[in-house]
Structure 1
Amino acid sequence: MVKAQVRKIIVVIIGAFIFAFSMNFFLIPAGVYSSGFSGLSQLLSRLFSEYVNITISVGVWLFLLNIPVTILGWKKVGKTFTLYSFFSVIVSSFFLNIIPIQKLSDDILLNAVFGGVIGAIGIGMTLREGASTGGMDIIAVYLSRVIEGSVGKFTMILNSFIILSAGFLFGWEKSLYTLVVLFSSSKVIDLIHTQSQKLTVMIVTENSYDLKKAILSRLTRGVTIVPAHGAYSESGKDMLITVISRYELYELRKIIKEIDAKAFTNILQTDSVIGLFRKD
């Protein structure tokens, strides 16, 4: 258990470093905006610098913006997910402040593509360990639970605000390159983490009561229980069926391993869900 936690912390630190590197070597020098709270931090940093003459770094803004979101995530999304996400934010803010801002290319398109891809590698590594880079990830996960819609849909809506605001205030050309960042980063994140926004999970277990209880309390996802019968063992079992977002896959795997490591689990990609995608 301790070894797994240490490994998770190390991966989150490495992911945060890669993300900060992509920001300071590609996106920030080129004036191209990132997605999520990192992009909003860029926007606020430039706003305060040009209109109020107050210099606040992107790293500091990233940390400040995530404080209220962390409180929301702790109460509504999940303590483990939120704790490691905030740790990722702290480390990312630290690296953003200590890594020098340096331009490697004058080509805006190259900066947008490589910034998006390299940053997505860091984000994808973090997601695979059951955390996120905080900010809009947590907000999107929360909104997907209380309002019908996917995490990707809410993420795109929130990111659209950054694109429109940046374009209106500082010109449309560079802000539109944010779309290139969004596209390239989303493809890489899905490739590293999982290809689907939603996943259908079928768990065949002899300990359905404890598994059901843990999923309902820790993931706040609904569960359907279907009676099952083992053809080889001739024993009675239950099959638990649930639909989760990709951000919850790590936590579900952890739950299954803790309660019934021998449970047979089948994970399927889900294109869409009709009905309420939440606990109640």
Structure 2
Amino acid sequence: MKKEFGEIFRKNEKLRVLASIIGAAIYALGLNWFIVPLNLYSGGMMGIAQLIRTFLSNSFGIQPGQLDLAGVFYYILNIPMVIMAVKKMDKLFVKKLLITLTACTIFLSVIPIPEKPILGEELTNCLIGGIICGFGIGMYLRAGCSGGGFEVLGIYLARTKPNFSVGKMNLIVNGVIYAVCLILFDPSVAVYSVIYSVFMSITMDKFHAQNIRVEAIILSKTNNDQIEAQILKRLGRGITCWKAKGGFTGENIDVLYTVLSKYEIGILKDIVYTANPQAFMVVKEGLSVDGNFIKRLS
């Protein structure tokens, strides 16, 4: 029987690394073609790298043609994050981090920057650039990779501190960056930079389904032991079972409950309907989970 593509992608590291490199290229293309020509700034560590690039360019005239040194500075700023990852995270994650980070740096450095924005309207450039960049980032995150930056710190703290909020950390960092932009540059630079970041974040979250937690309730009469065993084996998720009775038929039925990521729903459906084609399943998004729930990047 044909395997679920999501499971193949989840287990095939070469395919995932290739996807992360493609995602890095897409991100760099969106940034260099649509955002940099407008002299706008990203959030996070890339925004800091861009500010350093602008400072050196304006103060010392360091700007090698159409190449953008922000990618190089981004790599340098990520060295402490890589060191932390080596000490605190597994080797596979570190390898994928280095590959994706290096790919981002190379693509950001070699993809030429147009002298003028590709599109006439600044808002349109922010929209298109944000969508492209968000898609690229979401692509390598979905592949279980990281392009570096504060997201590495966020991943580590999210794993070690249950109440830690990555979103709040990003909000504080980005707030400082855009406050600097507001002070140093024209106010429109800060405004359009924020607009770009919003579009990018929305697109990234939509594509990176692993961050969306869902609950699944499965109603099944037969082969429930097989369903439970496969959920534990293929997804590594816990499952709670209890007995119930059908309100219409009065027949005994098992209720199986589990919490997982949206990215894993396809695999769950394959497990359930392979074991019992007559099973009934309800999936609900918008879940807040506290306690012992495994957060995964990979």
Measured in 1, the distance between the counterparts of 2:36 and 2:293 equals 38
Is 1:189 the counterpart of 2:208? The answer is no
Classify 1:71/1:263 alpha carbon distance in 2 versus 1 (closer, same or farther; 3 Å). Answer: farther
One-letter amino acid matched to 2:202: K
* Match of residue 45 from structure 2: 37
Is 1:205 the counterpart of 2:221? The answer is no
Classify 1:240/1:48 alpha carbon distance in 2 versus 1 (closer, same or farther; 3 Å). Answer: farther
State the SS of the aligned residue for 2:285: strand
* Match of residue 112 from structure 1: 126
- The percentage of counterpart residues that share the same residue type is 28
1:18–1:118 contact (8 Å) kept in structure 2? yes
The Cα of 1:116 is off from its aligned counterpart by: 0.8
Classify 1:138/1:268 alpha carbon distance in 2 versus 1 (closer, same or farther; 3 Å). Answer: farther
* Match of residue 63 from structure 1: 75
* Match of residue 146 from structure 2: 132
* Match of residue 30 from structure 2: 22
Classify 1:81/1:270 alpha carbon distance in 2 versus 1 (closer, same or farther; 3 Å). Answer: farther
Gaps of 5+ in 2: 1-7, 219-226, 246-253, 269-273
1:122-165 deviations in Å (ceiling 9; x for gaps): 11211221113221221222333426243333222222222112
* Match of residue 193 from structure 2: 178
Classify 1:46/1:156 alpha carbon distance in 2 versus 1 (closer, same or farther; 3 Å). Answer: same
1:85–1:134 contact (8 Å) kept in structure 2? yes
1:153-189 deviations in Å (ceiling 9; x for gaps): 3222222222112222223221221211121112212
* Match of residue 3 from structure 2: none
2:134–2:200 contact (8 Å) kept in structure 1? yes
How many residue pairs get aligned? The number is: 259
One-letter amino acid matched to 1:141: I
State the SS of the aligned residue for 1:205: helix
**Structure 2 length-normalised TM:** 0.68
Measured in 2, the distance between the counterparts of 1:33 and 1:263 equals 51
Measured in 2, the distance between the counterparts of 1:67 and 1:151 equals 20
Is 1:269 the counterpart of 2:292? The answer is no
The Cα of 1:16 is off from its aligned counterpart by: 1.1
Measured in 2, the distance between the counterparts of 1:193 and 1:150 equals 17
* Match of residue 96 from structure 1: 108
1:211-260 deviations in Å (ceiling 9; x for gaps): 99x78xxxxxxx7x7466899xxxxx9x795677x8xx68xx99x9xxxx
Is 1:11 the counterpart of 2:26? The answer is no
Measured in 2, the distance between the counterparts of 1:242 and 1:150 equals 20
One-letter amino acid matched to 1:269: E
* Match of residue 85 from structure 2: 73
Question: What's the Cα RMSD here?
Answer: 4.1
* Match of residue 142 from structure 1: 156
> Whose Rg is larger?
2
The Cα of 1:14 is off from its aligned counterpart by: 1.2
Measured in 2, the distance between the counterparts of 1:47 and 1:193 equals 33
